[in-house]
Amino acid sequence: MSRRSAARRRSGGRRPACAAKPASSPLRGGSPDPPRAARPARGAASLHRAARPVLVVGVTGASGAAYAVRLVECAVRTGRRVHLIVTAAGRLVMADETAAHFRGDALDLASLWPRDVAACVTYTPAEQLAAPPASGSFDAQAAVIIPCSMNTLAALAHGLAGNLVQRAGQVALKEGRPLVVVPREMPLTRIDLANMARLADAGAAVMPAMPGFYHRPRSVADLVDFVVAKALDRLGIAHGLAVGWPGAGKNASRRA
């Protein structure tokens, strides 16, 4: 049996759907699934990654890191590469709320995702303003900041770019690409509300992390999936997460 056939047999012949829940939660104390298939040859992996559209994902210091972890997994499962950018405050929150393991500012991708997902993720600390996402010539399809702190939201609303997350958001706006921001804060001041309105006027989709309950969630993971599904819907990414309005069919997905 060839090496490729053996890998396909071990993986069941196809990549699991995004809707499939991980064996353990990405929340703190969990661990990602074990690798499902053998790593392809380096050259083949590079070609595979290069053929995928790129989604920039920014993570800030707002609570809700599990949203980012799940969104990255779903984006990769649906054929995207992800360029992940995390601020210094975001690293502290991710380490506190999820299984993320950092060494200094370096993230061990294997602490959050199985090998096939991690292979399609490029990570950059937000302090590296000279990284590719800082340029409008970087071929990204869209950007999402999840969760988005009020500090980052205010910077975006006023055209500031003090780190790579903020700069990537400004690039999406100036290049006319989709930008989704997912604030996770309460209560909101009039300043916060004004900044949200200003950012929406500039072309961003402002989607506070407000999970619904009509899909009858049974776990925190179900609530996380609701918010992630809404963000993916707004980005035009089909996902298959069962969080749709029951009137459209029991547990139907809006874009399944």
Residue 220 is given by DSSP the state H
The confidence band for 245, taking pLDDT boundaries of 50, 70 and 90, is confident
169: in domain: yes
Q: What integer is the mean pLDDT of 162-191?
A: 97
**229 domain-assigned:** yes
* This prediction's pTM: 0.81
Burial class (CB in 10 A: 0-12, 13-18, 19+), 139: exposed
State the sign of the Cα–Cα–Cα–Cα dihedral 243, 245, 247, 253: negative
Q: Taking residues 199-210, what's their average pLDDT?
A: 98
18 assigned to some structural domain: no
Q: What is the pLDDT of residue 246?
A: 78
The total domain count for the chain is 1
Q: What is the pLDDT of residues 214-234, one digit of tens each?
A: 999 999 999 999 999 999 999
d(C-alpha 61, C-alpha 63), whole Å: 6
What single string gives the DSSP state of each residue in 48-93?
HHHTSPEEEEEE-SSS-HHHHHHHHHHHHHTT-EEEEEE-HHHHHH
The pLDDT score that the predictor gives to residue 198 is 98
- Best CA proximity match to 64, nearest among 206, 165, 186, 173: 186
Q: What is the CATH number of the domain that holds 159?
A: 3.40.50.1950
pLDDT at 19 > cutoff 70: no
Of 246, 224, 234, residue with least CA distance to 19: 224
pLDDT tens digits, one per residue of 50-71: 578 999 999 999 999 999 999 9
Closest C-alpha to 70, from 208, 221, 256: 221
| Separation between Cα atoms, residue 154 and residue 183, nearest integer Å | 11
- Boundaries of domain holding 102: 50-248
Average pLDDT, the chain: 85
Select from 168, 102, 105, 103 the least CA-distant residue to 140: 168
Q: Does residue 41 sit within a domain?
A: no
Under the banding of pLDDT at 50, 70 and 90, the label for residue 25 is low
Q: How many residues does the chain have?
A: 256
* 57 vs 25, more confident: 57
- Tell me the pLDDT tens digit for each residue of 84-112: 999 999 999 999 999 999 999 999 999 99
Residue 30 falls inside a structural domain: no
Residues near 111 by beta carbon (within 8 Å), at least 6 away in sequence:
31, 32, 99, 100, 101
State the Cα–Cα distance between residues 168 and 156, nearest whole angstrom: 10
Distance CA 58, CA 229 (A): 17
Is 23 a domain residue? no
Whether 117 is in a domain gets the answer yes
Task: Tell whether 21 is covered by a domain.
Answer: no
pLDDT the model gives residue 29: 56
Is 90 exceeded by the pLDDT of residue 134? yes
Higher pLDDT: 24 or 139? It is: 139
